Every structure is written in structure tokens, then in C-alpha cells.
Structure 1
Amino acid sequence: MNDTINRKILAALQQNSRISYAELGKQVHLSAPAVAERIRKLESAGVISGYTLKVNLDKLGFPIVALVQCKVFRTKEREFKALVLSYDEVIECHNVTGEQAFLIKLAVQSMSQLDSILESFCDLSDTNTMMILSTPVDRALPETYFN
């Protein structure tokens, strides 16, 4: 599963998951059916777990993206998780190590909307909010995987 051709296939799919098997075959010097079979095997093995769409949140009307560290109060974790799931604005939520047990990524239309969401967390956790100014690196795999 972890050979040079598969790495090249994964690199190309990471760049453009809509690339045709024929075009991908040209890049890795295989036939389209051979590429399709390799991709099917990568999917079956769970290496490829899905295909995603990258969107520009700002252009969709969500100019504010924030990361929120949450230190959930003792015995409030179940309530906290339910609250997080109730917000469509939560686009990622990670249970992490350290004092701040959760890291949440929110996309909102206004600062007042962000403030309202953060207020709802107050009964369940302490929060620390960081605004995302830019994203100089955004990739699914470490570049060293492809070397």
C-alpha cells in the first residue's frame, strides 16, 4: 500500500480529487484501469476514507474563522459535546491532550454571532479564542510522506 506509485496517486488526489483516472495514469505511468484498481485498494484498506471539497468560507459569507480552546468543567463533558454538535457554525471539533480538552473551529458571519456562541459555552467550559488571520499551510498529509 505504501509504494512510490501510491504516494504519487495520493499526492495527485490531494491536489485535485476530481482528476480523471486517465490523467492520473499519465502522471504515474499506468493505465486508467490500473489506477482505478489501486485507488479501489486504497479505499478498501481505509487509506482513502473519503473525498472532500475545499471552499472559500469568506466568499460564502463566513469571513470570521476562529479556533476556540475549551477547558470543560468536571462532569459537563456530555453536555458540552451536545452543545457543540448543536451549532452548524462548528466546522471541526477535536478532543485534545492538555488542560484545554477540546479545540473547536468555528466559521461565523459576524463578531456578534461568535460572541453569542462563546457565551453559550460559559456554563460548561472556560474558553480561549484565537482568530485565524491566514492559513499559510493547508494540507492533508505531511510533505515528507511523498519524498
Structure 2
Amino acid sequence: MAVYSGIDTIRVSRIDALYKRRGPDFLSRIYTSDEMRHCQSKAKGMMESLAARFAAKEAVSKALGTGIWQKGVRFTDIEIVMEQDGRPSVSLSSGAYKVFKEIGGQSISVSMTHDGDLAMAVCVIEYIAINKGGELL
């Protein structure tokens, strides 16, 4: 096994400003309906939760080696799901899932945090290294 990693940080105030300027249109371009529901249920800390998920999506896209809007990877292809024990997990769909499979992805994990005006996330993807001939490296 080998790993790819990605990391991202964003100011919570940047997400807040985008939300105030663009409203629901901004949210629907970035977040799935379940993500929006989860964040909006947190009256206190909604912007922090949105910012942490934004950073997580960026970190995942970097670990995939694409960034957002490359190779068909959109923000909504990367969903951050909270497990019952409070851990975040990643659900990939469409372009992001396709890239994950193309790189030999086996598992993906993410960690998020926020403190004051900063939100940060890191992603690790475990993959099986395969050469162009299809042999394991």
C-alpha cells in the first residue's frame, strides 16, 4: 500500500461572506443536501461546520491529485458524512469516485478541525501502486 495526502485550510469568515453574498445558491454548488442539513442543524457553529467541510472537500481533491473542477471532480462529488461516533467519513460519487478507482484507491479518511476563524482538514487515501502494465509496484 502507498498513500496520497491532501491538506487545506480556509478562513471561516470567507465562507460566511460567500454565504451572505450568494445565499442558498452558494450552498447547493458546494454541499450535498445532507451536508447542508447537518450544518444548518447546528445553530451555533454552522459557519465553522461549513468551512471545515469545504476544507475537507479541497483536501480530498488534492489527495485525488485533481483539485476541484478537474477530471470531472465537483464539490458535490465529495460528501463528508458524520458517523454515529462523531468521526467524519468520505463518500465519493461521479467524477471523484471514478478518479479514486483510477488511482487504485482502497480507502479514504479525513480529519477536520476549526479554531477561531480557521478551519482545516487533512485527507489520506491508501492505494495499490500499479504500473502501466498492470503489475503491482
TM-score band, normalised by the shorter chain?
Answer: under 0.3
Query: Could you say which structure has the higher strand fraction?
Result: 2
Larger Rg: 1
Q: Which has the higher contact order (CA 8 A, sep 6+)?
A: 2
The TM-score, its normalising length taken from structure 1, stands at: 0.26
Q: State TM-score, norm by structure 2.
A: 0.27
